[in-house]
Amino acid sequence: MKVKSTDRILVWSLRAASATAGSLVLLILCFLVLESVEGITRVGAGRFLNDPGWHPSQGAESEFSLVPMIAATIASTIGAILLAGPVGVLAAVFCRFYAPPKLARAFRSIVELLAGIPSVVYGFWGLVTLVPLVRELAPPGASLLAGILVLAMMIVPTVALLAFAALKNVPPGHLEGATALGLSRWTTIVKVVFPSAASGLGVAIVLGTMRAIGETMAVLMVCGNITKVPSSLFDPVRTLTANIALELGYATQEHRAVLFVSGLALMIMIVLLVFVQERLQRRARLA
């Protein structure tokens, strides 16, 4: 009897906890949608894409184009994942298949540490180190490129750790079988390990991408924050996240509502990625 009642308490507190977590997410989503609906109806959805620029607080003359911010977010995220994806996966491959055990362990601890560094520190480092370097290539320095580099630095640890987990999941039988057939280590990795870990590696990339999309502080510090569609890597840009962080504090009326719309846009991107990730994960479990 006693066991049963403690069991019931445990079950109910677990239920309460997950219900709280779930309803919080729903609450945030509802709030975003509600606030955005107001923006969409008052401004008109077409203007987010068709207005000539972003001048949100000039009364009747206001312009509400989200295109520069969306372009900046997409460009910086793609750039970051193009750099961090291969680097992270190769780091994981090195750690799993090439490094001597001691080195591999040290390497993993360092990567775990890197994954835990607050983003403002990355931003700070980017501002004082990377931006001047980029400025030497082409002024002004604070630019899309600087943002891509800082983002890449930030998500390499995430990608590497998840990729390592994916590689570890490859059944040892496949490795032994490949070795016994006379495949070299690299051939084994390319022909047997990668196909077998493909879904897991995909999840690593997707989660890295999500981190890059959502990152605010570091990009805000190094990107220059000009609301213009970039025409080169050296142009300053402003991402959706940075835009919200910079303006929400003083935005009123339509301006405020449109910021919520941009928040919703971010949320939609993330939901799509979560969807992709779920599918990959299901495949990884089946494989």
Partner 1 sequence: MTITPHGSLKKAPPLTIPPRQAARLPESDAAAGGLFEAIQRGEAFETVVHEATRGEKPVLEVSNFNLWYGEAQALHDISLVCPDGKVTALIGPSGCGKSTLLRCVNRMNDLIDSVRVSGDMTLNGESIYTAGVDVIELRKRIGMVFQKPNPFPMSIYENVVYSLRIDGERDRSVLDEVCEQSLRGAGLWDEAKDRLQSSALAMSGGQQQRLCIARAIAAEPDVLLLDEPCSALDPIATGRIEELIDELKGTYSILIVTHNMQQASRASDYTAFMYLGRLVEFGPTDEIFLQPRLKETEDYVTGRFG
Instruction: Give the binding-site size for partner 1 (rule: CB under 8 A).
Output: 20
**Residue pair 23/250 in contact by the 8 Å Cβ criterion:** no
User: At which residue do the structure tokens 């930030």 appear?
Assistant: 154
d(CA 126, CA 120): 10
Q: How far apart are CA 196 and CA 101, in angstroms?
A: 23
Stretch that binds partner 1, among 5-13, 37-45, 183-191, 234-242 (CB under 8 A): 183-191
Residues facing 55 on adjacent strands: 63
Minimum distance, C-beta of residue 181 to partner 1, in the bound complex (Å) = 5
Site for partner 1 in 93-132 (CB under 8 A): 100-101
For residue 169, which of 283, 19, 63 has the smallest C-alpha distance? 283
The region of 55-63, 74-82, 138-146, 185-193 touching partner 1 under the rule CB under 8 A is: 185-193
Touching partner 1, residues 136-175 (CB under 8 A): 171, 173-174
Identity at 160, one-letter amino acid code? A
Specify the DSSP element, H or E, that contains 265: helix 253-286
Q: How far is the CB of 175 from partner 1 (least distance, A)?
A: 8
| SS3 (DSSP) at 64 | strand
Among 81, 156, 189, 192, binds partner 1 (CB under 8 A): 192
Which C-beta is closer to partner 1: that of 114 or that of 287?
287
Using CA atoms in the order 105, 111, 116, 121, what is the torsion angle rounded to 10 degrees?
140
Q: Which is nearer to partner 1, 186 or 275 (CB)?
A: 186
> Closest separation between CB of residue 101 and partner 1, Å?
7
Give residues in contact with partner 1 (CB under 8 A).
100-101, 171, 173-174, 176-184, 187, 191-192, 195-196, 287
